[in-house]
A and B are shown apart, each in its own frame.
Chain A
Amino acid sequence: MQCSDPIEIKSALAQIGTTGSEEKVEEEEEPEVDGEGGAEEAPAEKHDEPLAEVIEKPPEPVAPVAVPVAISSNPPKKLTNQFNFCERGSLTLNNPSREVSTQTNPPSRITFSASITQWAIYDAYMEDHEQQEMKEKEKKEKEKEKATLAPQKKEQEAKKQEGVQEKSKFTSPEKAAKILERMSNQNTYDEIIQDFKYWEDPSDEFKEEEGTLLPLWKFSCDKAQNYSVTSICWNENCPDIFVAGYGSFDFKRRKAGLMCVYTMKNPSYPEHLVAVKSEVLAVDIHMTCTSLIVLGLSDGNIAVFDLTKSCETPLHTSNSVNNKHSAAVWQVRWSKELSQTEMTIYSISADGQVLSWTLMQNEMIKMKLISLTFSTGMIHSDDSCPLTGCGTALTFHPTENNIFLVGTEEGRIYKCSTAYTSIFLSESEAHYMPVQQVDFNRFNPAVYASCSGDWRVKIWEDNRKEPLFEFDLGSPVEDVAWAPYSSTVLAAATADGRVHVFDLNVNKYRPLCQQVVTQKKKCKLTKVSFNPKHSMLIVGDSFGGVSSVKMSPNLRKKQKPPKKGMIVDHETLEKLKLDKLLSLVREPNKPLMVLETESNAN
């Protein structure tokens, strides 16, 4: 701040021009200035002094202003000097600075470290994706709800919400436990697994018309020891899974029944174990939806289980008053689906009725009676009420869904259609004893095989009264099955514990293999079935065990394509082979051969 007036400066400059008067003025000024200023001015030069210099002392603002005014009025004007100027500096008073510091608590820190990998990022993205999908689903459901205010759907939603909540972060290690069990089984049964995969009996090259069965695993369950295996069925989708139904053929004692689902990967314990109230006599797995299993029980009921949902309670079951057979159900079959929502089961029982059961809308089981009562017609009684036969076997035609074959206890085989409820398409007196099983050839559905307790296996052709082949096996034949890979191979299981395997192309008179499969002497075989994919058979016996055997190469001969280079597929080859064989065997209008095989027990 400068309090200097322009008058002041002029007077000062005027003083500089005249040196004489300058000194006087200076002297006059000096004491005043000095009085005002202080030690700071002492070293100042004479040139400096004439500049009106105002020391700024806040307590004395008035005095310095007054003095130069007094001076300027008295002395003469002096010439101004443009060139001679001087600078003067001075120090201003600085505010004394002080330091005041405070310390606060530092913001709390946590050290976090992690390493990130590509898959952690991937997992995070997948989770997010899933959550978004869930949200979309919920939105859609809400919209549907608004459209139809059905209370049922609210229940379903509530259930789904429960289901979502149940997917808690806590999971028990079930999958890992299962995997470990299978691994440990793999170690124990290592040799058998290697055999199953790789063993091909080399001695078969030297035996032309003989084959052998190599025993593999034996599947059994502690609970099933007192039962006999009454039915077995392979799972088409997963060829290592099969279902075995346990019951007994002894109708004096009624017991509870059992059904087990086994997998070849774990021979020591079944995957699923289902207990039912009465003995299981028939099992069938649905062709496409392979978690649905239907059981035919000895009290006449039918139960459908869904393995994905629950092993304890059946999905559907027939009621015990009206909606059931009045006698034991011998065979149940899923029918090929006509529509996606409706699934149909056909069952045959000892009361002579073939019933069809329809599952609709996933909730209801509705029974539609297509009852085919069999009137034997042979025995006429005075009462004129037709005798009904007892059905024991039922199979469907592989290509035509409406046609099926029925075997009865009287030894007859009827060909029927679902379209006609009271008339049979054909009828034949097949056996002297109850027909145990009927099976269609996979490649030529006009050919079918039947077996019965009269020791015989007969092979028929459609529209022929006489069988094409007839084999006497020396013991009641419990089951017969055609092979899925060849049109001329079939297997039969007899009550003396033997499995007979025939290949009609190789030998029309004798089986290629007659082998005892069970260890205990009194053990009867009850069922036999070919694995759809691998070259093995499973055989059920009367002591609750299911044995698996591998077939040697001679039993698995497939037709080789002709060398001329025409690419013909396997099925056609097999059909051709069978046709050729049949044309040899068929002699028009002549009785066909009745062949006896060796019936000596070894």
Chain B
Amino acid sequence: MMNLKTWILQMKIHPKILTSKEKQKAAEVEETLKRIQSHKGVFGTIVVNSEGIPIKSTMDNTSTVQYAGLVSQLADKARSVVRDLDPTNDLTFLRVRTKKHEIMLAPDKDYILIVIQNPSD
């Protein structure tokens, strides 16, 4: 999967060149994701954009696509629940703990980040 930076440059919606601040931020995000990936018990990380298309992933293609589609729907629903109850509120993160592992997702303005970890490793 491609680098986050290259993806940003290839996006048609934003044809302008990245400013240095944005490059720095993208680099920091890359580093953070690397660190998360090397964390104990983490299976994979996926970055999904607001339409549900996976941008970056450390897992194989089929699981990535599956996770991306299903999880983004869940995130949207969860977010809409929180905001319907109180529009000033917003979803920070969502953990789904299952028997085998834990799916953690953090929604952002344009993205959703997903990490699958085995907590009791």
Contact = CB atoms under 8 A, between A and B. Distances in A.
21 contacts: A117-B84, A119-B87, A123-B87, A168-B14, A169-B110, A170-B11, A170-B13, A173-B47, A176-B111, A177-B36, A178-B32, A179-B92, A179-B93, A180-B32, A180-B115, A184-B104, A184-B115, A187-B41, A187-B102, A268-B35, A269-B35
Task: Rank and list the top 7 A-B pairs by shortest CB-CB distance, nearest first.
Answer: A119-B83, A122-B87, A176-B108, A176-B106, A173-B111, A119-B87, A187-B119
Nearest to B83: A119
Nearest to A168: B14
B53 to A, nearest CB: 14
Contacts of A188: 39-41, 119
A170 B92 contact: no
B42 A176 contact: no
Interface of B: 4, 8, 11, 13-14, 16, 19, 21-22, 25-26, 28-29, 32-33, 35-36, 39-42, 45, 47, 80, 83-84, 87-88, 92-93, 95, 102, 104, 106-113, 115, 117, 119
A185 B104 CA distance: 12
A174 B25 contact: yes
A175 interface: yes
A188 B36 CA distance: 11
B42 A166 contact: no
Contacts of A176: 106-108, 111-113
Nearest to B25: A172
A170 B41 CA distance: 32
B9 to A, nearest CB: 11
Given A174-B25, A180-B45, 10 more contacts: A118-B84, A122-B88, A168-B14, A172-B29, A172-B111, A177-B29, A177-B32, A178-B32, A184-B115, A188-B39
Chain A interface residue bracket vs B? 20 to 34
B interface secondary structure, majority: mixed
Interface string A140-177: 00000000000000000000000000101111111111
B96 to A, nearest CB: 12
Contact of A268 (B29, B39, B93): B39
Contacts of B110: 169-171, 173
B91 to A, nearest CB: 11
B115 A174 contact: no
Contacts of A170: 8, 11, 13-14, 22, 110
The interface centre, meaning the residue of A168, A173, A175 with most chain B CB atoms within 10 A of its CB, is: A173
A269 B110 CA distance: 26
Nearest to A115: B80
A173 B102 contact: no
A181 B36 CA distance: 6
B93 to A, nearest CB: 5
A592 interface: no
Nearest to B21: A166
A291 B119 CA distance: 34
A88 B83 CA distance: 82
A340 B88 CA distance: 33
Contact of B104 (A118, A178, A180): A180
Nearest to B49: A173
A190 interface: yes
A169 B42 CA distance: 31
B1 to A, nearest CB: 15
Given A174-B25, A176-B111, A168 B36 contact: no
Nearest to A178: B32
A183 interface: yes
Interface in A109-131: 117-119, 121-123
A172 B4 contact: yes
The interface centre, meaning the residue of A123, A172, A185, A187 with most chain B CB atoms within 10 A of its CB, is: A172
A169 B29 contact: no
A177 B39 contact: no
Contacts of A184: 36, 39, 42, 104, 115, 117
Interface of A: 117-119, 121-123, 166, 168-181, 183-185, 187-188, 190, 268-269
The interface centre, meaning the residue of B14, B41, B113, B115 with most chain A CB atoms within 10 A of its CB, is: B113
Given A119-B87, A179-B106, A180-B106, A185 B39 contact: yes
Contacts of B40: 188
Contacts of B42: 184
B44 to A, nearest CB: 12
B36 to A, nearest CB: 5
A188 to B, nearest CB: 5
A184 B37 CA distance: 10
A166 B93 contact: no
A166 B21 CA distance: 9
A179 B104 CA distance: 10
Contacts of B39: 184-185, 188, 268
A168 B108 CA distance: 15
Nearest to B47: A173
B99 to A, nearest CB: 15
A269 B95 CA distance: 22
Given A173-B47, A178-B32, A183 B83 contact: no
Given A170-B110, A177-B33, A119 B84 contact: yes
Nearest to B38: A268
Given A180-B36, A180-B115, A118 B29 contact: no
Contacts of B108: 171, 173, 175-176
Given A177-B32, A187-B119, A188-B41, A172 B104 contact: no
A173 B80 contact: no
A152 to B, nearest CB: 22
B41 A183 contact: no
Contacts of B80: 117, 119
Contacts of B93: 179-180, 183
A117 B41 CA distance: 38
A313 to B, nearest CB: 13
A181 B33 CA distance: 8
B86 to A, nearest CB: 9
Contacts of B83: 117-119, 122
Contacts of A190: 119
A171 to B, nearest CB: 5
